[in-house]
Structure 1
Amino acid sequence: MRRDGTQDSWINLILPLGLILGLVLLLSLNIEGNNQGRETTALEIWLKVIVGYLAAGTEIAAAIVIGGAVIRSIVAYLRLLFSRSKQHFDATEGVRLQLGRVLALGLEFTVASDILRTAVAPTRQDILNLGAIVLLRTLLNYFLEREIEQGEQRRLPQPQLDRSVQ
Protein backbone atom coordinates (compact mmCIF):
# COMPACT_ATOMS: atom_id res chain seq x y z
CA MET A 1 0.00 0.00 0.00
CA ARG A 2 2.77 2.42 0.87
CA ARG A 3 4.53 1.69 -2.40
CA ASP A 4 1.51 2.91 -4.42
CA GLY A 5 1.43 6.16 -2.44
CA THR A 6 5.14 6.72 -3.06
CA GLN A 7 4.71 5.99 -6.75
CA ASP A 8 1.80 8.45 -6.98
CA SER A 9 3.84 11.15 -5.26
CA TRP A 10 6.69 10.61 -7.73
CA ILE A 11 4.27 10.85 -10.66
CA ASN A 12 2.76 14.02 -9.18
CA LEU A 13 6.27 15.48 -9.01
CA ILE A 14 7.69 14.24 -12.32
CA LEU A 15 4.71 15.05 -14.55
CA PRO A 16 4.65 18.82 -13.90
CA LEU A 17 8.44 19.02 -14.05
CA GLY A 18 8.42 17.18 -17.40
CA LEU A 19 5.78 19.54 -18.75
CA ILE A 20 7.76 22.58 -17.62
CA LEU A 21 10.96 21.20 -19.15
CA GLY A 22 9.14 20.50 -22.43
CA LEU A 23 7.76 24.03 -22.43
CA VAL A 24 11.21 25.53 -21.91
CA LEU A 25 12.63 23.37 -24.71
CA LEU A 26 9.86 24.32 -27.13
CA LEU A 27 10.23 28.00 -26.37
CA SER A 28 14.00 27.83 -26.82
CA LEU A 29 13.67 26.46 -30.34
CA ASN A 30 13.44 29.13 -32.98
CA ILE A 31 12.99 27.78 -36.46
CA GLU A 32 12.69 30.22 -39.31
CA GLY A 33 10.13 28.87 -41.76
CA ASN A 34 10.88 29.13 -45.45
CA ASN A 35 7.68 29.67 -47.36
CA GLN A 36 9.41 31.15 -50.42
CA GLY A 37 8.97 28.09 -52.67
CA ARG A 38 5.36 27.50 -51.71
CA GLU A 39 2.31 28.99 -53.38
CA THR A 40 -0.92 29.70 -51.55
CA THR A 41 -4.05 28.40 -53.23
CA ALA A 42 -7.44 30.09 -53.24
CA LEU A 43 -8.90 27.24 -51.22
CA GLU A 44 -6.20 27.67 -48.59
CA ILE A 45 -6.94 31.39 -48.35
CA TRP A 46 -10.67 30.71 -47.85
CA LEU A 47 -9.94 27.99 -45.30
CA LYS A 48 -7.74 30.41 -43.35
CA VAL A 49 -10.54 32.99 -43.31
CA ILE A 50 -13.18 30.46 -42.19
CA VAL A 51 -10.91 28.90 -39.57
CA GLY A 52 -9.97 32.39 -38.35
CA TYR A 53 -13.65 33.14 -37.71
CA LEU A 54 -14.13 29.77 -36.00
CA ALA A 55 -11.10 30.41 -33.78
CA ALA A 56 -12.36 33.89 -32.90
CA GLY A 57 -15.77 32.40 -32.06
CA THR A 58 -14.11 29.84 -29.83
CA GLU A 59 -12.17 32.58 -28.02
CA ILE A 60 -15.39 34.55 -27.55
CA ALA A 61 -17.07 31.42 -26.16
CA ALA A 62 -14.18 30.98 -23.71
CA ALA A 63 -14.49 34.62 -22.62
CA ILE A 64 -18.25 34.29 -22.14
CA VAL A 65 -17.92 31.04 -20.16
CA ILE A 66 -15.17 32.41 -17.90
CA GLY A 67 -16.75 35.87 -17.53
CA GLY A 68 -20.15 34.40 -16.66
CA ALA A 69 -18.58 32.09 -14.10
CA VAL A 70 -16.65 34.94 -12.49
CA ILE A 71 -19.79 37.06 -12.20
CA ARG A 72 -21.78 34.11 -10.83
CA SER A 73 -19.03 33.34 -8.31
CA ILE A 74 -18.85 36.95 -7.14
CA VAL A 75 -22.62 37.05 -6.63
CA ALA A 76 -22.57 33.72 -4.76
CA TYR A 77 -19.69 34.87 -2.58
CA LEU A 78 -21.39 38.18 -1.75
CA ARG A 79 -24.54 36.28 -0.76
CA LEU A 80 -22.43 34.11 1.55
CA LEU A 81 -20.59 37.11 2.93
CA PHE A 82 -23.76 38.93 3.93
CA SER A 83 -25.69 35.87 5.11
CA ARG A 84 -25.41 34.76 8.68
CA SER A 85 -24.62 31.17 7.85
CA LYS A 86 -22.32 29.19 10.10
CA GLN A 87 -21.03 27.10 7.21
CA HIS A 88 -19.28 30.02 5.55
CA PHE A 89 -15.97 28.20 4.93
CA ASP A 90 -17.58 25.13 3.39
CA ALA A 91 -19.79 27.26 1.13
CA THR A 92 -16.84 29.45 0.11
CA GLU A 93 -14.91 26.31 -0.82
CA GLY A 94 -17.87 25.26 -2.97
CA VAL A 95 -17.85 28.58 -4.82
CA ARG A 96 -14.10 28.24 -5.39
CA LEU A 97 -14.42 24.68 -6.71
CA GLN A 98 -17.26 25.65 -9.02
CA LEU A 99 -15.19 28.52 -10.43
CA GLY A 100 -12.21 26.19 -10.86
CA ARG A 101 -14.28 23.73 -12.92
CA VAL A 102 -15.42 26.50 -15.25
CA LEU A 103 -11.87 27.86 -15.57
CA ALA A 104 -10.76 24.38 -16.66
CA LEU A 105 -13.51 24.42 -19.29
CA GLY A 106 -12.40 27.88 -20.44
CA LEU A 107 -8.82 26.61 -20.80
CA GLU A 108 -10.10 23.81 -23.02
CA PHE A 109 -11.85 26.37 -25.24
CA THR A 110 -8.67 28.42 -25.58
CA VAL A 111 -6.63 25.32 -26.48
CA ALA A 112 -9.23 24.49 -29.15
CA SER A 113 -8.90 28.02 -30.51
CA ASP A 114 -5.13 27.72 -30.76
CA ILE A 115 -5.43 24.37 -32.52
CA LEU A 116 -7.88 25.87 -35.02
CA ARG A 117 -5.53 28.77 -35.79
CA THR A 118 -2.73 26.33 -36.58
CA ALA A 119 -4.89 23.88 -38.56
CA VAL A 120 -4.46 25.35 -42.05
CA ALA A 121 -0.97 25.16 -43.60
CA PRO A 122 1.12 25.57 -40.46
CA THR A 123 4.84 26.25 -40.56
CA ARG A 124 7.22 24.45 -38.25
CA GLN A 125 7.41 27.56 -36.08
CA ASP A 126 3.59 27.65 -35.85
CA ILE A 127 3.57 24.03 -34.70
CA LEU A 128 6.27 24.70 -32.10
CA ASN A 129 4.39 27.75 -30.82
CA LEU A 130 1.18 25.72 -30.63
CA GLY A 131 3.02 22.97 -28.76
CA ALA A 132 4.35 25.49 -26.23
CA ILE A 133 0.93 27.09 -25.74
CA VAL A 134 -0.86 23.74 -25.39
CA LEU A 135 1.82 22.51 -22.99
CA LEU A 136 1.48 25.63 -20.83
CA ARG A 137 -2.30 25.42 -20.76
CA THR A 138 -2.14 21.68 -20.06
CA LEU A 139 0.14 22.41 -17.12
CA LEU A 140 -2.30 25.02 -15.80
CA ASN A 141 -5.21 22.65 -16.31
CA TYR A 142 -3.34 19.83 -14.54
CA PHE A 143 -2.75 21.90 -11.41
CA LEU A 144 -6.29 23.28 -11.51
CA GLU A 145 -7.82 19.81 -11.77
CA ARG A 146 -5.58 18.58 -8.97
CA GLU A 147 -6.67 21.47 -6.76
CA ILE A 148 -10.33 20.78 -7.54
CA GLU A 149 -9.88 17.10 -6.71
CA GLN A 150 -8.22 17.91 -3.39
CA GLY A 151 -10.93 20.43 -2.56
CA GLU A 152 -13.69 17.93 -3.29
CA GLN A 153 -11.98 15.34 -1.10
CA ARG A 154 -11.81 17.86 1.75
CA ARG A 155 -15.54 18.55 1.38
CA LEU A 156 -16.57 14.89 1.58
CA PRO A 157 -17.43 13.70 5.08
CA GLN A 158 -14.72 11.49 6.47
CA PRO A 159 -15.96 7.93 7.13
CA GLN A 160 -16.18 7.01 10.78
CA LEU A 161 -14.93 3.59 11.77
CA ASP A 162 -17.65 1.52 13.37
CA ARG A 163 -16.04 -0.21 16.32
CA SER A 164 -19.11 -2.36 17.06
CA VAL A 165 -18.53 -4.39 13.88
CA GLN A 166 -15.06 -5.49 15.01
Structure 2
Amino acid sequence: MIEAFSSLFNIMGSFLIIYGGLRSILGVIRIEVLKKSHSYQKVRKELTNKIVFGLEFFIAADVLETVLNPSQEELLLLGTVVLIRTVLGYFLSKEVLEYQLD
Protein backbone atom coordinates (compact mmCIF):
# COMPACT_ATOMS: atom_id res chain seq x y z
CA MET A 1 0.00 0.00 0.00
CA ILE A 2 2.87 2.38 0.79
CA GLU A 3 4.38 1.63 -2.63
CA ALA A 4 1.09 2.56 -4.29
CA PHE A 5 0.95 5.92 -2.50
CA SER A 6 4.59 6.57 -3.28
CA SER A 7 3.90 5.97 -6.96
CA LEU A 8 0.78 8.12 -6.78
CA PHE A 9 2.75 11.00 -5.25
CA ASN A 10 5.44 10.69 -7.93
CA ILE A 11 2.80 10.74 -10.65
CA MET A 12 1.04 13.72 -9.08
CA GLY A 13 4.31 15.65 -8.77
CA SER A 14 5.13 14.94 -12.40
CA PHE A 15 1.62 15.88 -13.49
CA LEU A 16 1.79 19.23 -11.67
CA ILE A 17 5.12 20.16 -13.24
CA ILE A 18 4.02 19.09 -16.73
CA TYR A 19 0.69 20.89 -16.33
CA GLY A 20 2.47 24.05 -15.18
CA GLY A 21 4.85 23.85 -18.13
CA LEU A 22 2.04 23.42 -20.64
CA ARG A 23 0.11 26.35 -19.16
CA SER A 24 3.26 28.47 -19.33
CA ILE A 25 3.75 27.59 -22.98
CA LEU A 26 0.17 28.67 -23.67
CA GLY A 27 0.75 31.87 -21.70
CA VAL A 28 3.83 32.73 -23.76
CA ILE A 29 1.91 31.99 -26.98
CA ARG A 30 -0.86 34.31 -25.81
CA ILE A 31 1.65 37.06 -25.15
CA GLU A 32 3.87 36.68 -28.21
CA VAL A 33 1.63 35.37 -30.96
CA LEU A 34 -1.85 36.49 -30.03
CA LYS A 35 -0.69 39.76 -28.41
CA LYS A 36 -3.04 39.25 -25.47
CA SER A 37 -2.65 41.36 -22.37
CA HIS A 38 -1.00 38.73 -20.23
CA SER A 39 2.18 39.29 -18.24
CA TYR A 40 5.35 37.23 -18.19
CA GLN A 41 5.46 37.75 -14.44
CA LYS A 42 2.11 36.01 -14.02
CA VAL A 43 3.14 33.15 -16.32
CA ARG A 44 6.43 32.67 -14.51
CA LYS A 45 4.82 32.87 -11.07
CA GLU A 46 2.26 30.21 -12.00
CA LEU A 47 4.97 27.92 -13.39
CA THR A 48 7.16 28.36 -10.32
CA ASN A 49 4.24 27.63 -8.00
CA LYS A 50 3.48 24.41 -9.88
CA ILE A 51 7.15 23.35 -9.75
CA VAL A 52 7.39 24.00 -6.01
CA PHE A 53 4.12 22.13 -5.37
CA GLY A 54 5.29 19.23 -7.55
CA LEU A 55 8.57 19.06 -5.62
CA GLU A 56 6.62 18.70 -2.39
CA PHE A 57 4.88 15.62 -3.80
CA PHE A 58 8.26 14.18 -4.81
CA ILE A 59 9.56 14.70 -1.28
CA ALA A 60 6.53 12.88 0.15
CA ALA A 61 7.12 10.01 -2.27
CA ASP A 62 10.79 9.81 -1.27
CA VAL A 63 9.84 9.69 2.42
CA LEU A 64 7.45 6.81 1.75
CA GLU A 65 10.08 4.94 -0.27
CA THR A 66 12.54 5.31 2.59
CA VAL A 67 9.97 3.89 5.02
CA LEU A 68 9.98 0.73 2.90
CA ASN A 69 13.78 0.48 2.87
CA PRO A 70 15.17 2.34 5.91
CA SER A 71 18.85 1.59 5.37
CA GLN A 72 21.49 4.14 6.28
CA GLU A 73 22.24 4.68 2.59
CA GLU A 74 18.56 5.36 1.84
CA LEU A 75 18.31 7.79 4.77
CA LEU A 76 21.37 9.72 3.57
CA LEU A 77 20.00 9.80 0.03
CA LEU A 78 16.62 10.99 1.31
CA GLY A 79 18.24 13.72 3.40
CA THR A 80 20.26 14.92 0.42
CA VAL A 81 17.28 14.89 -1.94
CA VAL A 82 15.03 16.68 0.57
CA LEU A 83 17.72 19.30 1.20
CA ILE A 84 18.24 19.97 -2.50
CA ARG A 85 14.52 20.13 -3.26
CA THR A 86 13.83 22.32 -0.23
CA VAL A 87 16.58 24.78 -1.16
CA LEU A 88 15.39 24.81 -4.76
CA GLY A 89 11.80 25.39 -3.68
CA TYR A 90 12.86 28.17 -1.31
CA PHE A 91 14.80 30.06 -3.94
CA LEU A 92 12.12 29.60 -6.60
CA SER A 93 9.50 30.98 -4.22
CA LYS A 94 11.76 33.84 -3.21
CA GLU A 95 12.46 34.70 -6.84
CA VAL A 96 8.76 34.94 -7.63
CA LEU A 97 8.22 37.33 -4.74
CA GLU A 98 11.22 39.59 -5.38
CA TYR A 99 11.67 40.02 -9.11
CA GLN A 100 9.51 41.95 -11.53
CA LEU A 101 9.85 40.66 -15.09
CA ASP A 102 7.66 43.13 -16.98
**Which TM-score applies when normalising by structure 1?**
0.56
- 1:78 equivalenced with 2:29 (yes/no): yes
Amino acid at match of 2:14: A
**Corresponding position of 1:98:** 46
- 1:61 equivalenced with 2:1 (yes/no): no
CA distance in 2: counterparts of 1:84 and 1:53, whole angstroms: 44
Partner residue of 1:139 out of 83, 87, 90: 87
CA distance in 1: counterparts of 2:94 and 2:35, whole angstroms: 31
**Corresponding position of 2:60:** 112
Higher-Rg member (1/2):
1
**CA deviation after TM superposition for structure 1 residue 117, in Å:** 0.4
**CA deviation after TM superposition for structure 1 residue 148, in Å:** 1.1
Q: Give runs of ≥4 in structure 1 deviating > 3 Å.
A: none
**Which TM-score applies when normalising by structure 2?**
0.89
Q: Percent identity?
A: 31
Amino acid at match of 1:68: Y
Structure 1 residues not aligned, in runs of 5+: 1-49, 156-166
Q: Counting helix residues as a fraction of each chain, which structure ranks higher?
A: 2
Amino acid at match of 1:106: G
Structure 2 residues not aligned, in runs of 5+: none
